[in-house]
Amino acid sequence: MISLVIMFVIYNTVVYTQGTSNETPKMSEQAIKGEQLYQENNCTACHQFYGLGGYLGPDLTNVISQKNKGPAYVKAFLNSGIKTMPKFNFTEEEKDALTQFLTEVDQTGYYPNKDAETSASGWVGIKYKNR
């Protein structure tokens, strides 16, 4: 039992450090504020990052770099209250923070990962953005 606990501790430590290490720079203060707003308004109920979250709205991983979208597109949507979106009342400063958060998420990778390499073993080598 003790050896199992020791293995579990080592495994978790490696996941928290090396396993989740990546080339992405630390999120800026403004982006963290944007993430806080994203959470306080429970945007994850409808939206996804990397396909994880709700299904009523689109995935937002690459909404900033996507063709015909970008920061202005995102800002226009935020307080519109159209269709499925609730009508939010974000200030300009809050809109900037949310957009910055989405911009920094966009820099971490691709979703959907259309250029992933597949092999006959069933394995998939995903394409990294910042390598």
Partner 1 sequence: MKKISFTFLILGLLALIVGAIFGTLAGIQYIKPDFLKEVIAFNKMRPFHVSTVIGWIILCATGGIYYYLTNVLNLKLFSKKLAGAHLILFILSAVAIYVSFATGKMGGREYFAYAPLISVPILIGWILFGINYFKTVPKQVKGWPVYLWMWGTGIAFMIYHIGETNLWMIPYFRENFIRDITVQWKSYGSLAGCWNMLVYGTAIFLMSKIKNDDNVGRGRKTFFFYFLGLFNLMLGWAHHTYIIPNQPWIRILSYGASMTEWIIFISIIIDWKKSLSAEKKELNSMSYKFLMATDFWVFFNLIIALLISIPYINLFTHGTHITVAHSMGTTIGINTTILLASLFYIVNKEGKELLDKYRKIIKLGFWFFNISLGVFLICLLLGGVEKSIWMYFTDEPSSFGQMQDKIQPYMYVFLAAGFGLLAGILMVAVPMLNVLMKKSK
Binding site for partner 1 (CB under 8 A): 8, 11, 15-16, 18-22, 24, 26-27, 32, 35, 38-46, 48-59, 83-84, 86, 104-105, 108-114, 116, 118-119, 122-126, 128-129
Handedness of CA 112, 117, 119, 121 (dihedral sign): negative
Q: Minimum distance from CB of 114 to partner 1 (Å)?
A: 7
User: Between residues 40 and 92, which has the closer beta carbon with respect to partner 1?
Assistant: 40
User: Between residues 19 and 76, which has the closer beta carbon with respect to partner 1?
Assistant: 19
Query: How far is Cα 103 from Cα 57, in angstroms, rounded to an integer?
Result: 18
User: Between residues 21 and 91, which has the closer beta carbon with respect to partner 1?
Assistant: 21
Q: Minimum distance from CB of 33 to partner 1 (Å)?
A: 12
Q: Minimum distance from CB of 92 to partner 1 (Å)?
A: 21
Please report, for residues 49, 55, 72, 112, 115, the alpha-carbon distance to residue 96 in angstroms, rounded to integers and kept in the order given.
19, 25, 10, 25, 31
- Report which of 62, 26, 30, 110 is spatially closest to residue 38, judged by C-alpha positions: 30
User: Between residues 45 and 76, which has the closer beta carbon with respect to partner 1?
Assistant: 45
- Report which of 85, 100, 98, 121 is spatially closest to residue 25, judged by C-alpha positions: 100
